[in-house]
Structure 1
Amino acid sequence: MKWLNPIKKAALATVIGSLVCSSIANAEIGEPEKEELKFGFIKLTDMAPIAIAYENGYFEDEGLYVTIEAQANWKVLLNGVIDGSLDGAHMLAGQPIAATMGFGTKADIITPFSMDLNGNGITVSNDIWEQMKPNIPKMDDGRPVHPIKADALKPVVEKFKEEGKPFNMGMVFPVSTHNYELRYWLAAGGIHPGFYAPHKGDTSGQIDADALLSVTPPPQMPATLEAGTIYGYCVGEPWNQQAVFKGIGVPVVTDYEIWKDNPEKVFGITKEFAEKYPNTTLRLTRALIRAAMWLDENDNANRPAAVKILSQSNYVGADYDVIANSMTGTFEYEKGDKRDVPDFNVFFRYNATYPFYSDAVWYLTQMRRWGQISEDKSDDWYFDLAKKVYRPDIYTAAAQSLIEEGLADAKDFPDFATEDGFRDPQTHFIDDIVYDGTQPNAYINKFSIGLKEGDKL
């Protein structure tokens, strides 16, 4: 067993204890208690595991008869899971965490399955891009050097401020990865993205902001940019590539470049659902794991087939070429500047589907950094909340049953006997700040922009 500090030992004990108590890690999974299910999603390519589990018959293999339904926005989707009109859904990773915490909505939501890594980008309008370009180093062939940091945008934002004009940008939801990634990128370049102060009734997120961030649903991002209502946005695919195809904007950075192999969406269900239907929960997790494996197997050989499925109007509904631009291992920045980014969308590699506690802790650190968590919390508070929401015990039981049946290979998963739920310290951030999930408060204190221990608005 690898060396574990006391925090990690406690986390490992929690996982092992849950597995022993449930007696399902090495036992045959029973029949589903609920067979007919309805799952929700937003029209983004990272809903792919749900579509593939349906189209490839993995849900049916588990005795589950699933209906999949697109939702208008993230709030409607979350409310559907809470009120039971949806049995589960493709969710922003921050949604189950915030709901359990009671930010915005109070509900006990859990996730047994992380849906993907990476998959987002930040796009600016053509006009803003032209103003940024003089600030960006060029390669010998004249193309911009990537990653492009927000340092190149800062003089543009300062010019807007001098002229008394607000610099508006869009993100998809207050507790979305996109909000935190856009804030991270801006702050790393010295641009303040603003604070929240829910204890004062201010949930705008625009206190002291240099750039004003507001919510726009993902499919509406390109049109909102084209209308000039916002000057840039952070969103998942295919809505960055759509801006390139329409000739209205330029993606300047991907989330892979902001935080290499960052966790993105999760599959969310209520805690009540998991407790009432434990076999159903395990079986839907098995189906999603198999779908993720299929999406990444043989060096993404199945991606063109996946793109064809996702381009259907009942799923993402964007043109095949738009979706393929990022789903098949490339990403196009300026029109004609297409570069290889084989890990832009990761669905199974690098333990993408395992619900790591440290992933949840990172989201919580950003909620605290920007004021969505109003007061200091102890490190243990972060760990305890992460363990309420992220459920590696369910994931482990589902994965082990697939391994025992010969449907999966143990080498493709974490070592369940020693896994503690915390990734090793992560170093690949655009500002070179190292993230160690076992030290949330120490991490928060590293940033020059953002709340630190002892700070309160």
Structure 2
Amino acid sequence: MKKKCDPVIEKSQKTIVPRFLGITGALALSSAVTMITFAPSHADILDVEKDELKLGFIKLTDMAPLAIAYEKGFFEDEGLFVTLEPQANWKVLLDRVITGELDGAHMLAGQPLAATIGYGTKAHIVTPFSMDLNGNAITVSNEVWALMKENIPQENGKPVHPISAEALKPVVETYKDQGKPFNMGMVFPVSTHNYELRYWLAAGGVHPGYYSPEDISGQLQADALLSVTPPPQMPATLEAGTIYGYSVGEPWNQQAVNKGIGVPVITDYEIWQNNPEKVFGLTNEFTVENPNTTLALTKALIRAAKWLDENDNANRPEAVQILSQPEYVGADADVIASSMTGTFEYEKGDKRSVPDFNVFFRHDATYPFYSDAIWYLTQMRRWGQIADHKDDSWYAEVAKSVYQPHIYLKAAEILVEENNAAKTDFPWDTDGYRPATSAFIDGIEYNGRKPNDYIDAQIIGLKANQKITSDGIPQS
């Protein structure tokens, strides 16, 4: 079996970091420490350029492909000796990938795109692998929920879902009339959570605010004031009354239910059915200098994602136990299981079947679609993070510079040859664009080939040719 030493304190970060020993590290220890590696599951492995890797993640259940690739020996099968290291927040994680302190990381899908176009830290970050679909929710405090419920239809004594932000709008207006800003949390300015929260609010007539080159708060003209809170701190911040609601990944919505401090009102599956979530990000330089290592990583992650979804989620209970360990997510197994085993609990006791709340492999979840990248870019443009109009071809070019499906398909091809996957598991004939869809809470159709049409179709938000003035007013 694999040898794993006890967590140690990483002094530079003052956080607990798991140290998973590779061959070199094991040999450097005393002879009392024994290291046994897994035998590869196939005859030939790639001649990797770098076999000892440090990969970063944030303590969320959607880091699962990394944990499973490690625990099930998929990294070792590829000749890779991996250290998985939790990071303090998304900015630290991205910065450490850029500087090379991390070889790659579990990332917000918007991070490689924002870095590549120079929003925030400028760096060419790419992804050959999409980590999951769905997995987020929006939670509000008990006080806000009690007020919202007055505006929500009931059926058999329970709220009718999905719940529109129209039910929140009069609550926000009441707070405003009382001179109280309506504060909400999200995890990072270019996070899925930010854009999903904004999408939900705007669809219900609540303005989430604009960004401008002069004001990066994202609160210009806002009815609800959104700001950054690290995922594990969301429940405590809500309980303290600093924020009245938040958008975050699991297990931090279910944690609010478990602690009795808040109610998840809508999942991202209900905002946009089967929306892309996290990606595995590396610098472009790393993939160029280490092509076989990148392929090997992608192969291992594909196998992990497949394991997570196979046999109708039969492996999820085991995955929950793995993720509950302190070196991964470190939340109670029951809390993680509440959303990862095909259900989702809203109010305490209101547990509903949501079989696709967490998707890791089915629905082509792992393929890096250009159209997924373009959706994120449309939201950056819609809210002013991209200040100037861009034509449709610009969106396509940026997507193709960041998302790397050719690496993914090469990895998939090798897996099929090794009998570690079936040919039918992968979308060989796609051109990188999912079919147009209107599976959004507002019913507006999204076509990744026509990003400006999609931007213009939104009621709240910048239109294609508009810019934000210094006082936050859209102007053509």
Q: CA deviation at 1:323?
A: 0.2
Distance 1:408 1:279 in 2: 19
**Residue of structure 2 equivalent to 1:377:** 390
Matched AA of 2:231: P
Counting only pairs closer than 5 Å after superposition, residues 238-257 of structure 1 correspond to structure 2 as 238-257=251-270
Which of residues 424, 428, 435 in structure 1 aligns to 2:446?
Answer: 435
Q: Does 1:161 align with 2:176?
A: yes
Which secondary structure does the structure 2 equivalent of 1:279 belong to? Answer: helix
Where structure 2 has 5 or more consecutive residues not aligned to the other structure, the ranges are 1-43, 469-476
Q: CA deviation at 1:410?
A: 1.1
Q: Contact 1:34/1:277 (CA < 8 Å) preserved in 2?
A: yes
Q: Does 1:173 align with 2:188?
A: yes
Distance 2:71 2:45 in 1: 23
Q: Contact 1:29/1:279 (CA < 8 Å) preserved in 2?
A: no
Which secondary structure does the structure 2 equivalent of 1:205 belong to? Answer: coil
Q: Does 1:73 align with 2:89?
A: yes
**Residue of structure 2 equivalent to 1:453:** 464
Q: Contact 1:41/1:90 (CA < 8 Å) preserved in 2?
A: yes
Q: Contact 1:123/1:252 (CA < 8 Å) preserved in 2?
A: yes
Distance 1:96 1:69 in 2: 19
Which of residues 329, 332, 355 in structure 2 aligns to 1:342?
Answer: 355
Counting only pairs closer than 5 Å after superposition, residues 137-152 of structure 1 correspond to structure 2 as 137-139=153-155, 141-152=156-167
Distance 1:89 1:426 in 2: 30
Distance 1:425 1:404 in 2: 32
Q: CA deviation at 1:292?
A: 0.2
Q: Contact 2:342/2:354 (CA < 8 Å) preserved in 1?
A: yes
Distance 2:384 2:314 in 1: 43
Which secondary structure does the structure 2 equivalent of 1:396 belong to? Answer: helix
Aligned length: 425
Which secondary structure does the structure 2 equivalent of 1:253 belong to? Answer: strand
Q: Does 1:193 align with 2:208?
A: yes
**Residue of structure 2 equivalent to 1:413:** 426
Matched AA of 1:295: L
**Residue of structure 2 equivalent to 1:422:** 433
Q: Contact 1:193/1:213 (CA < 8 Å) preserved in 2?
A: yes
Which secondary structure does the structure 1 equivalent of 2:159 belong to? Answer: coil
Which of residues 340, 352, 363 in structure 1 aligns to 2:365?
Answer: 352
Counting only pairs closer than 5 Å after superposition, residues 266-415 of structure 1 correspond to structure 2 as 266-414=279-427
**Residue of structure 2 equivalent to 1:13:** none
Matched AA of 2:383: W
Q: Contact 2:343/2:354 (CA < 8 Å) preserved in 1?
A: yes
* 1:275-298 residue CA offsets vs partner (Å, 9 max, x unmatched): 000000000000000000000000
Q: CA deviation at 1:29?
A: 6.6
Which secondary structure does the structure 1 equivalent of 2:219 belong to? Answer: strand
Matched AA of 2:210: F
Q: CA deviation at 1:30?
A: 3.4
Which secondary structure does the structure 1 equivalent of 2:95 belong to? Answer: helix
Which secondary structure does the structure 2 equivalent of 1:263 belong to? Answer: coil
Q: CA deviation at 1:161?
A: 1.3
**Residue of structure 1 equivalent to 2:57:** 41
Matched AA of 1:309: I
Higher relative contact order (CA 8 A, sep 6+): 1
Q: Contact 2:46/2:296 (CA < 8 Å) preserved in 1?
A: no
Cα RMSD, aligned residues only: 0.7
Distance 1:398 1:413 in 2: 11
Q: Contact 1:73/1:217 (CA < 8 Å) preserved in 2?
A: yes
**Residue of structure 2 equivalent to 1:235:** 248
Instruction: Name the TM-score, length of structure 1 as normaliser.
Output: 0.92
* 1:332-356 residue CA offsets vs partner (Å, 9 max, x unmatched): 0000000000000000000000000
Higher helix share: 1
Q: CA deviation at 1:163?
A: 1.5
Q: CA deviation at 1:300?
A: 0.1
Which secondary structure does the structure 2 equivalent of 1:363 belong to? Answer: helix
Runs of 4+ in 1 over 3 A off after TM superposition: none
Q: Contact 2:46/2:78 (CA < 8 Å) preserved in 1?
A: no
Q: CA deviation at 1:245?
A: 0.2
* 1:219-268 residue CA offsets vs partner (Å, 9 max, x unmatched): 00000000000000000000000000000000000000000000000000
**Residue of structure 1 equivalent to 2:136:** 120
Which secondary structure does the structure 2 equivalent of 1:380 belong to? Answer: helix
Q: CA deviation at 1:160?
A: 1.1
Matched AA of 2:269: Y
* 1:111-156 residue CA offsets vs partner (Å, 9 max, x unmatched): 00000000000000000000000100001x2000000010000000
Matched AA of 2:121: T
Q: CA deviation at 1:178?
A: 0.1
Q: Contact 1:177/1:264 (CA < 8 Å) preserved in 2?
A: yes
Q: Contact 1:38/1:68 (CA < 8 Å) preserved in 2?
A: yes
Q: CA deviation at 1:426?
A: 1.4
Distance 1:133 1:334 in 2: 11
* 1:175-227 residue CA offsets vs partner (Å, 9 max, x unmatched): 000000000000000000000002xx210000000000000000000000000
* 1:308-352 residue CA offsets vs partner (Å, 9 max, x unmatched): 000000000000000000000000000000000000000000000
Q: Contact 1:45/1:316 (CA < 8 Å) preserved in 2?
A: yes
Identity of aligned residues (%): 74
Matched AA of 2:205: G
Q: Contact 1:357/1:386 (CA < 8 Å) preserved in 2?
A: yes
Q: CA deviation at 1:405?
A: 1.3
Distance 1:261 1:427 in 2: 12
Distance 2:140 2:435 in 1: 33
